[in-house]
Structure 1
Amino acid sequence: MVANRYYSGPVSDHFDGTRFFNPGGIEPLGLLEVLRWRWSGGRSVWPKTIENAGRTSVPAARVEDLRVTMVGHATLLVQVAGVNILTDPVWSERVSPVSFAGPKRVRAPGIAFDALPRIDLVLLSHNHYDHLDIRTLRRLKEAYDPLVVTPLGNDRILSDAGLGMRVMVADWGDRVETPFGIVHCEPAHHWSARGTRDRRMALWASFVLETEVGRIYHIGDTGFHDGINYRAAGEKHGGFRLAILPIGAYAPRWFMKGQHQNPDEAVRGMVLAGAEFAVGHHWSTFQLTDEAIDEPAEQLAQALRDHGVSADRFRPLLAGEAWDVPAAVR
């Protein structure tokens, strides 16, 4: 029997004693399907580098209401009610087990690392290299010693790397009381792996933040999963001022559907969860899949029209762009 190197705990509706899974969901496809995709020839050509066109941001030290600044991919600075939060922080040039190969950044980070305000809290959604970057986490530990909230098993990855970070670990459905507010750990439809022998041994998750200025729903990665998790989050938490949702890395659909939603599904998820506003991320930084670099924003604009949602409610931020999120109308 294969041993889980990251987590040991009781069997549950999403853990079989060795591996985590999505109840009633889609398992990640195997090597033959990966090769079929890679050999299909449908990959768009991205530019090697894109200038941020003067958008590199120097954030305020603190924000009393709610401001979101895009760093790149799934890394966002969320400044809310005087607290500074980073999601899935990656400042490295590549998202890979090694520094000399793997997907390479085409846009510089929208905030220079040295321009960051003091970081209080880091949300780590799962352990894929484009979300959990040891090099960046080590820099954050040395600079700010932030608290990390992450799903089951990911604490072991940080510990094995010798980071010495302060970590709070959560299962789906857990309510985590931090010095910076309450964080709920909720389901997402995804998977995890750092290598070829640890698939689904650490949990993946979304987060709900309770703040003085409204609830925030953050998803690092997810498949749409018939909207099940969106409906549940909206019903449990009563809607959101802001949802931070992935909109990229979705093509081809036959391969990516179970792990990455497309822009249309992101809009549908926003509506199902009862979010007043949304930020689109996970696009235009690292080429992971087949779609063109600008396609997610174009598809998002079309999806908003199709679903009758105003374009000013769901913004696909580029590196360096900051948005002062309006107050919820409800």
Structure 2
Amino acid sequence: MANAKPKNPYYQGPVTDHFDGTRFFNPGGIAPLGFRAMLRWQFNGERQTWQKQVPSPFPQAKPEERVEGDGLRVTMVGHASMLVQVAGLNILTDPVWSDRASPFGFAGPKRVTPPGIRFEDLPKIDLVLVSHNHYDHLDVATLKRLQAAHRPHFVTPLGNDTIIRRAAPDARISVMDWGGRIAISDGMNVDAEPAHHWSARGTGDRSMALWASFVISTPSGKIYHVGDTGFHDGINYRAVAKKHGAFRLAILPFGAYEPRWFMKGQHQNPDEAVRGMQLCNAAHVAGHHFATFQLTDEAMDAPVRALEAALREHGVTPERFRPLRAGEVFDVPLS
């Protein structure tokens, strides 16, 4: 039938305020632009040239096995991939060790800086958070390696479990909708909260798996991890602060934002990231989404330069918002 709805290959469930029975959406938000707009962007001639290889100013890190007590340590792997060590738990966010953020090994955005931790040097990984299914966040090759070496607990929004399970059939996966909560251990929970984004692995599955941010509640403070988001007038930042209170750490994207006419709904810029930090009451930020894969038009150093200006504009000291480079270790202060 010509008017038949496409089948969702990842998820079947009831209609909600952010799922129409086939696709997920951002309530009151901006839908991703279509194919013609993408072509207009791709042929705009404004894409800046990145170097093919850019060594990090930091050596590859060799993390300790655990961080106990009040410690909270973040080690940057690259892009949105970080090792978070807190309360004796080792957490990976959106782990990507592959050379390309792409369905192909021979084409697509290529890593310009090696991972900040060698895969073989990872401590025992307990928890893996996968925020959505874009290739720079859900890398099945890496998840398969993690399952074989560490057998962690994977946590991801609705529908993404289908993709992960194809690579790791025996994986332990918790699937979450916005507003959901799961217990990780005594005194530690993960909440899934809205982000303003979208999803796709190909041309026919747009927005058929959910995207989310995560709040990790620990005895050493709360952590807010956002893999990708548009600013969305600060709505989600205000809501997460109202629900969860203040955060010791927010993990926020601030790169991959040009051109604004195309990216505004899905990727916040540095000024919006600083405003988001203030709105969600984050004492400190680990900044990401820059200097690893060239996804958008801006120069490689543009996000950091714009972030420096935004911090001055909003009266935030640079020590509180750290744009982390591969291998960099951030011991997050208690206050």
| Corresponding residue number in structure 2 for 1:4 | 8
Cα deviation 1:274-323 (Å, max 9, x = unaligned): 11111100110000000110111111111010001111100000000001
8 Å CA contact 2:193, 2:213 repeated in 1: yes
Equivalent of 2:330, from 315, 323, 330? Answer: 323
8 Å CA contact 2:184, 2:190 repeated in 1: yes
Matched, 1:172 2:178: yes
State the secondary structure of the residue aligned to 2:221. coil
Matched, 1:23 2:27: yes
Q: How does 1:1-330 map to 2 (within 5 A)?
A: 1-64=5-68, 65-179=71-185, 181-328=188-335
* CA distance in 1 between partners of 2:233 and 2:276 (Å): 9
Letter in 2 for 1:269: G
Letter in 1 for 2:308: A
* CA distance in 2 between partners of 1:227 and 1:205 (Å): 15
8 Å CA contact 1:6, 1:156 repeated in 2: yes
Letter in 2 for 1:33: A
8 Å CA contact 1:264, 1:299 repeated in 2: yes
* CA distance in 1 between partners of 2:282 and 2:103 (Å): 36
Counterparts in 2 of 1:49 and 1:32: CA distance versus 1, 3 Å: same
Cα deviation 1:125-157 (Å, max 9, x = unaligned): 000000000000011001000000000000111
8 Å CA contact 1:209, 1:217 repeated in 2: yes
8 Å CA contact 2:141, 2:167 repeated in 1: no
State the secondary structure of the residue aligned to 1:209. strand
State the secondary structure of the residue aligned to 1:303. helix
Letter in 2 for 1:227: G
- TM-score (norm: length of structure 2): 0.97
* CA distance in 1 between partners of 2:57 and 2:265 (Å): 35
8 Å CA contact 2:143, 2:167 repeated in 1: no
By how many angstroms is 1:162 displaced? 4.3
8 Å CA contact 1:153, 1:202 repeated in 2: yes
By how many angstroms is 1:179 displaced? 3.1
8 Å CA contact 1:141, 1:163 repeated in 2: no
Counterparts in 2 of 1:19 and 1:305: CA distance versus 1, 3 Å: same
By how many angstroms is 1:165 displaced? 1.1
Cα deviation 1:167-219 (Å, max 9, x = unaligned): 00000000111237200000000000000011000000000000011000000
By how many angstroms is 1:116 displaced? 0.5
Cα deviation 1:88-111 (Å, max 9, x = unaligned): 000000011111111000000000
Letter in 2 for 1:301: E
State the secondary structure of the residue aligned to 2:190. strand
By how many angstroms is 1:52 displaced? 2.2
Letter in 2 for 1:175: R
8 Å CA contact 2:58, 2:326 repeated in 1: no
Cα deviation 1:237-260 (Å, max 9, x = unaligned): 011010000011000000000110
State the secondary structure of the residue aligned to 1:69. strand
* CA distance in 1 between partners of 2:144 and 2:20 (Å): 32
Q: CA RMSD in A?
A: 0.9
Letter in 2 for 1:166: R
Letter in 2 for 1:26: I
Letter in 2 for 1:281: H
By how many angstroms is 1:11 displaced? 0.6
By how many angstroms is 1:54 displaced? 4.6
Q: Which runs of 4+ in 1 moved over 3 A?
A: none
Letter in 1 for 2:301: D
